[in-house]
C-alpha cells in the first residue's frame, strides 16, 4: 500500500482529469484526498433529484479553491474520482458543488491518503439514480 503523498498538479490541466490520472497511474483505487489552490475557471454541478441528472454551471475568472475534498473508488473496473469544492472569488463570496470536467488549474496542491482494505465499488442505485458504493 502506497503511503500518503503530496503533489502539485500541473497548471492548465483539467482538475478532474488530472486527479484521475494521478490515481490511475499509481494504481490507487481507494483513497481520500484534499486539494487547495486556485482555478482559472470552474465548472460545478449539483444533482437534480427530480430530473435525475446533474445540472452544471460555469464560473469564469480566477477563484481560490477554499476547500476540495473527495474520494477514489472503482466504477466499471476503472479508477473513479468523486470530489466536491468550495471556491471563493475576488468579492470573497463562495460557490460550491460537485466537481465535474471543465475546471482549469491555476495552481493545485493535492494531499492524498490511500485507504487500505476492500475497494469501494460503485453500482447504479435505483433509489437515487446515482452510482453509489455497493
Residues forming the site for Zn ion (CB under 5 A): 98
DSSP, collapsed to helix, strand or coil, labels residue 92 as coil
**Nearer Cβ to Zn ion, position 98 or 122?**
98
| CB 30 to Zn ion: min, Å | 17
| CB 102 to Zn ion: min, Å | 15
Residue number with the smallest Cβ distance to Zn ion: 98
| Residue 80 CA: distances (Å) to CA of 41, 53, 59, 76, 113 | 22, 18, 24, 9, 15
DSSP, collapsed to helix, strand or coil, labels residue 51 as coil
**Nearer Cβ to Zn ion, position 26 or 98?**
98
**Nearer Cβ to Zn ion, position 37 or 96?**
96
| CB 92 to Zn ion: min, Å | 24
Q: How much of the chain is in helix, strand and coil states, percent to nearest 5?
A: 10, 65, 30
**Nearer Cβ to Zn ion, position 41 or 98?**
98
| CB 45 to Zn ion: min, Å | 8
Centroid of chain to Cα 66: 14
Cβ contact 98:54 at 8 Å: yes
Amino acid at each position: 500500500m502506497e503511503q500518503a503523498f503530496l503533489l502539485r498538479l500541473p497548471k492548465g490541466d483539467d482538475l478532474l482529469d488530472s486527479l484521475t490520472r494521478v490515481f490511475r497511474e499509481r494504481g490507487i483505487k481507494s483513497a481520500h484526498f484534499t486539494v487547495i489552490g486556485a482555478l482559472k475557471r470552474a465548472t460545478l454541478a449539483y444533482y437534480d433529484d427530480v430530473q435525475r441528472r446533474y445540472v452544471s454551471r460555469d464560473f469564469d475568472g480566477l477563484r481560490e479553491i477554499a476547500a476540495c475534498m473527495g474520494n477514489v473508488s472503482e466504477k466499471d473496473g476503472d479508477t473513479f474520482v468523486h470530489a466536491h469544492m468550495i471556491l471563493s472569488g475576488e468579492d470573497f463570496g463562495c460557490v460550491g458543488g460537485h466537481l465535474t470536467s471543465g475546471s482549469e488549474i491555476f495552481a493545485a496542491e493535492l494531499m492524498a491518503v490511500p485507504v487500505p482494505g476492500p475497494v469501494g465499488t460503485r453500482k447504479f442505485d435505483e433509489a437515487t439514480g446515482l452510482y453509489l458504493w455497493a
